[in-house]
Amino acid sequence: MTDAESAYRAIRRDGVLQVSRPKTEWLSTGWNGGRCTADCVYNVSVPDEWERTDLGSYVDERLERAGFEPTAADATGPALLTGVDIDDARGARCGPVTAYATAGVSNPAALPMESGADTGSDETVGDDVVSDLKPGRGTVNVIVGTTRALAPGALANLIAVVAEAKATTLLAETGFPGTTTDAVVVGHDPAGPPADFSGSGTEVGAATRACVRDALREALRVHYTDSDVTCPDSVSDAVYGVSTDTRAEVFCPPAADEAVEPES
């Protein structure tokens, strides 16, 4: 069986994207995330002014309504939430990797590099701002699966590879590195050919970067170019958004002979 024949397959139905491959091990950064083994993962589109907080019950309701009834194998599969129409989801495949993306930037998260840089917002990120953020406002969700069997560290590292490719693509296409609610799910086939590493110089890492870039660019094009939705030019132009204008204290870690012993 070739990689193309055995890739991660997806179905869209009633506002839900189901991505499936039997007995996949997933690692999710989204709600109720972490590692699990399941046949399917989901990306669920939520309506405008969505205010539900019982996320587990809500996801179960949406999957049942869409006809994706969980089985013993996929009952614990990760689910992401997005404010983007699931019809705007796009996929890309390269070698042993498949990626699916939805992308909306109504809640951009700017990260200015220079003090006093004009981000279009006077707000800094603080507890009051972060506590008011809710799932479903815009959001860039990416699901990536590989037919390789990744070592534990390589699966975790694949999150970083996806995040880097996502941020690079978003910066080039929108001027923002991400949104306030982005999430990533990565999966691998424990029975596939082994791969100890997933960095950018590996087959899996390079294919992942290409898939994320191309799926995300097309998802952005469909969501913005092929509709009347407008991508914001700055944080102040967005419906929601934050700019991390706060500056951290930078220091050099002390040498061993300079270290101060903690007080007992």
For 14-31, what is each residue's pLDDT tens digit?
Answer: 999 999 999 999 999 999
pLDDT above 60: residue 4: no
Q: Is pLDDT of 124 > 50?
A: no
Closest by CA position to 84, among listed 108, 105, 61: 105
pLDDT, the chain, mean: 87
Structure tokens at 140: 């860039």
As a whole number of Å, the CA-based R_g of the chain is 20
Q: Where are the beta strands (DSSP E) in the chain?
A: 9-13, 16-28, 34-45, 79-82, 90-94, 97-104, 109-110, 139-146, 149-150, 183-188, 194-195, 242-243
* All residues at 6 or more sequence positions from 261 whose CB lies less than 8 Å from its CB, including other chains: none
Q: Which pLDDT belongs to residue 1? A: 40
The least confident of 57-71, 122-136, 144-158, 161-175 is 122-136
Stretch 33-45: mean pLDDT: 95
Outline where the chain has alpha helix (H).
55-65, 127-131, 152-174, 203-220
Q: Which pLDDT value is given to residue 25? A: 97
Q: How far from each other are the two terminal CA atoms of the chain, in whole angstroms?
A: 62
Q: Name the residue among 172, 131, 187 with its Cα closest to residue 10.
A: 187
Minimum mean pLDDT range among 66-70, 71-75, 208-212, 236-240: 71-75
Which pLDDT value is given to residue 137? 60
CA-closest candidate to residue 195, choices 155, 224, 255: 155
Q: Token digits for 63?
A: 């999957």
Structural domains of the chain ordered from first start: 9-246 (3.60.70)
Per the CB < 8 A criterion, the answer to whether 235 and 119 are in contact is: yes
Residue with tokens 């013993």: 72
The rounded distance, in Å, linking the Cα atoms of 26 and 110 is: 29
CA 102 to chain centre: 9
| Nearest Cα residue to 146 out of 35, 19, 11, 36 | 19
CA distance 29 to 142: 10
- For the stretch 142-176, pLDDT in tens is 999 999 999 999 999 999 999 999 999 999 999 99
* Token pair recorded at residue 188: 């691998």
Contact predicate 42/24, CB 8 Å: no
**Closest CA relative to residue 129, chosen from 177, 72, 75, 181:** 181
Which two tokens mark 86?
């699931």
Beta carbons of 102 and 219 less than 8 angstroms apart: yes
**This prediction's pTM:** 0.89
Which of the 8 DSSP states describes residue 256? G
Task: Identify the pLDDT of residue 122.
Answer: 45
User: Percentage of the chain with pLDDT > 70?
Assistant: 84
